[in-house]
């Protein structure tokens, strides 16, 4: 089955074209009319597919596809978007409207949408990210769709020019919904090099991958919430093992891991099936109670089944929440469905479909991918190190040491006599989004959010400080971060994210004192770099710390927005991205 877009073929020529192509056993449909040429043509082998037309417009053709040969049934939409934002609006509305209609059935969307999702999807031409360019990404979000992992060409359209007039864009996409990800979790798109067209051809392979890697051990946080967790661990830890202290320690860890895996298999594996069964048992108990509301036996049975169901439901939500890594959402209702969808999207987004080995060969098969990855890290670990750049303690202060590998500078500082830890890694010296975040969990959320929103290439660094560092330690640390974030101004806006989650024991105002001193020292650099600062924090004494930050913003004349724990960390990241991409 295939589709052709931008055909400009008149309806009267369809039969002749079909005859010339020697495809008499195939059937075709198009969005052409007696007066307008066909912009989209869909063809399929009648011996393999049964296709029913669902909806046709100048910008799309949607059909229901069934194959008894391959044993699948799904909805497919083929798109050729108009070349103006106003005209494409009808296409976005159609997708958003049908996102809910097809949520329980696999839906595949592919074609030339004539639009990019992120600024990184374009090279050359107008660098400004106009507001109408956000329509595609907003549509995807509202319809709960995701791009299918792909290999091959990224920039699928070339304007045919050369030199400084060259423009490359990713205008062609293969997209699916959550139901599609459930049925074909290993679906892969392939964008081929251009030939006669200025666009890349694309193929979608709906395959069942039989490769199942051995699952690694993962500690599930909800285990620790059970009353019998600590007694179990203590009982296993008391086992007598002979050998050196390190051998005894690692051996007991292995025993605990084996015990937890077996305990989980017996009590919590197939958690969703267990939840469904517990709900059915509770429903039956409620019916028995309704029939005999006085009997003590039915009263106790109903309460017992309710407790089992509620406990398993809580475990199920915690399980999917941890696996999806969505850790900043707190709502009153159960969020299991949301976390499950987030997990599916994350798995598809992070799937590695190809790697390039040291000789420039592209590897696609799973076994080959493993060999390339292992070979890379073996080579990396065998190389001599020490030529990079990083943070080192020098004379009681922190210094940024430049070296031959300035693009991947990293280092850490541990305070003497304290529990403080300060870490800093430069990811992209030319990045325009920089972070100075407290706590490892919050730091990961900030970095992941910037990447998930499509701006990983703009992320300048990864940074975290923890363990209640004192004011002087934070001052030295902040100086390094700001120096890197403001280096080589190019006239474009930049953003600095300061803060973190809600601290347990760190005095927010005290750590902010060091940051405030550094910001005052670097005022001229901040202004030259057109830096916009976003502060978000909660915890002990946070109101005082935020008030100091607001006062600082008024004094410096540098754009500085301050938020407390009522604002989400993901929302702050979105604001920073909107800021640096705005043209003002």
Delimit the domains of the chain by residue range.
Answer: 2-205, 268-346, 421-581
The count of residues in the chain is 584
Distance (Å, whole) CA 423 – CA 391: 8
Q: Which letter, b or e, does each residue of 91-111 get, where b requires 16 or more Cβ atoms within 10 Å of its Cβ?
A: bbebbbebbeebeeebbbbbb
- Which CB contacts under 8 angstroms, 24+ apart, belong to 540-548? 540/503, 540/505, 540/506, 540/507, 540/508, 541/507, 541/508, 541/509, 541/510, 542/503, 542/508, 542/509, 544/508, 544/509, 545/508, 545/509, 545/510, 545/511, 545/512, 546/508, 548/509, 548/512, 548/513, 548/516
Distance (Å, whole) CA 192 – CA 317: 41
Nearest to 177 by CA among 203, 209, 147, 137: 147
Which positions ≥6 away from 202 have C-beta within 8 Å? 110, 150, 156, 172, 174, 189, 190, 191, 192
Nearest to 306 by CA among 334, 286, 336: 286
At 169 the pLDDT is 93
pLDDT per residue as tens digits for the range 269-294: 677 788 888 899 999 999 988 888 88
What region, left, alpha or beta, does residue 386 occupy, with left being phi > 0 and alpha being psi -120 to 50 degrees? left
The label of the residue with tokens 């923890």 reads 466
Q: How many CB atoms lie within 10 A of CB 7?
A: 19
At 386 the pLDDT is 36
193: DSSP letter: P
Q: Alpha helix (H) ranges present in 167-270?
A: 178-183, 229-237, 245-267
Distance (Å, whole) CA 145 – CA 347: 14
Distance (Å, whole) CA 497 – CA 574: 11
Q: How many CB atoms lie within 10 A of CB 505?
A: 8
Q: Which CATH number fits domain 421-581: 3.40.50.300, 3.90.1150.140, 3.20.20.70, 3.40.50.261?
A: 3.40.50.261
The 3-state secondary structure of 266-293 reads HHCCCHHHHHHHHHHHHHHHHHHHHHCC
Q: Which letter, b or e, does each residue of 115-154 get, where b requires 16 or more Cβ atoms within 10 Å of its Cβ?
A: bbbbbebbebeeeebeeebebbeebbeebebbbbbbebbe
CATH of domain 2-205: 3.60.10.10
422 - beta bridge partners?
A: 413, 465
> Residues 311, 316, 321, 322: is their CA dihedral positive or negative?
positive
Q: Is the pTM of this model over 0.75?
A: no
Residues of the chain with pLDDT under 50: 325-335, 383-417
Alpha-carbon distance values, 294 to 297, 298, 452 (Å): 9, 8, 55
pLDDT per residue as tens digits for the range 66-77: 988 877 889 999
Task: Report residue 469 as tokens.
Answer: 């560092």
């Amino acid at each position: 089955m295939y589709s052709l877009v931008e055909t400009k073929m008149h309806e009267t020529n369809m039969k002749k074209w079909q005859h010339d192509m020697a495809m008499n056993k195939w059937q075709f449909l198009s969005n052409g009319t007696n007066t307008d040429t066909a912009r989209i043509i869909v063809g399929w082998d009648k011996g393999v597919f049964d296709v029913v037309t669902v909806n046709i417009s100048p910008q799309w053709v949607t059909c229901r596809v069934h194959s008894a040969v391959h044993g699948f049934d799904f909805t497919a939409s083929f798109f050729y978007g108009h070349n103006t934002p106003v005209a494409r609006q009808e296409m976005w509305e159609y997708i958003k409207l049908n996102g809910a209609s097809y949520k329980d059935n696999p839906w595949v969307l592919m074609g030339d949408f004539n639009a990019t999702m992120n600024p990184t999807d374009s090279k050359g031409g107008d660098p400004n990210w106009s507001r109408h360019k956000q329509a595609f990404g907003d549509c995807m979000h509202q319809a709960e769709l995701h791009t299918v992992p792909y290999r091959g060409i990224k920039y699928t359209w070339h304007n045919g020019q050369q030199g400084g007039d060259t423009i490359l864009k990713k205008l062609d996409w293969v997209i699916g919904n959550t139901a599609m990800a459930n049925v074909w979790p290993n679906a892969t798109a392939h964008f081929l090099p251009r030939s006669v067209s200025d666009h890349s051809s694309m193929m979608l392979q709906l395959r069942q991958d039989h490769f199942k890697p051995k699952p690694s051990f993962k500690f599930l946080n909800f285990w620790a919430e059970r009353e019998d967790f600590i007694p179990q661990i203590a009982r296993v830890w008391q086992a007598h093992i002979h050998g050196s202290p390190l051998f005894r320690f690692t051996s007991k860890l292995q025993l605990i891991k084996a015990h937890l895996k077996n305990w989980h298999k017996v009590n919590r594996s197939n958690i969703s099936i267990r939840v469904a069964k517990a709900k059915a048992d509770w429903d039956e108990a409620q019916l028995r109670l309704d029939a005999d509301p006085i009997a003590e036996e039915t009263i106790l049975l109903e309460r017992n089944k309710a407790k089992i169901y509620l406990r398993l439901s809580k475990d199920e939500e915690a399980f999917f929440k941890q696996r999806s890594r969505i850790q900043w959402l707190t709502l009153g209702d159960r969020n299991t469905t949301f976390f499950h969808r987030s997990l599916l999207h994350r798995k598809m987004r992070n799937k590695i479909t190809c790697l390039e080995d040291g000789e420039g060969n592209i590897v696609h098969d799973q076994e080959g991918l493993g060999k390339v990855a292992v070979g890379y890290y073996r080579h990396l670990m065998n190389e001599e190190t020490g030529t990079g750049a990083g943070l080192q303690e020098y004379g009681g202060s922190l210094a940024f040491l430049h070296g031959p590998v300035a693009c991947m500078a990293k280092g850490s500082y541990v305070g003497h006599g304290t529990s403080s830890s300060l870490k800093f890694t430069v990811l992209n010296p030319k990045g325009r989004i920089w972070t100075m975040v407290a706590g490892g969990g919050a730091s990961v959320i900030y970095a992941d959010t910037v990447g998930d929103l499509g701006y990983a290439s703009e992320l300048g660094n990864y940074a975290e400080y923890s363990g209640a560092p004192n004011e002087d330690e934070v001052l030295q640390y902040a100086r390094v971060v700001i120096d890197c974030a403001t280096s080589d101004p190019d006239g474009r806006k930049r953003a600095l994210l300061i803060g973190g989650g809600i601290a347990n024991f760190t005095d927010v105002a005290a750590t902010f004192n060091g940051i405030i001193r550094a910001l005052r020292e670097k005022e001229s650099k901040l202004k030259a770099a057109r830096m916009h600062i976003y502060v978000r924090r909660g915890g002990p004494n946070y109101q005082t710390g935020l008030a100091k930050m607001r006062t600082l913003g008024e004094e410096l004349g540098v754009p500085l927005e301050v938020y407390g724990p009522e604002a989400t960390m993901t929302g702050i990241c979105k604001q920073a991205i909107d800021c640096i991409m705005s043209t003002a």
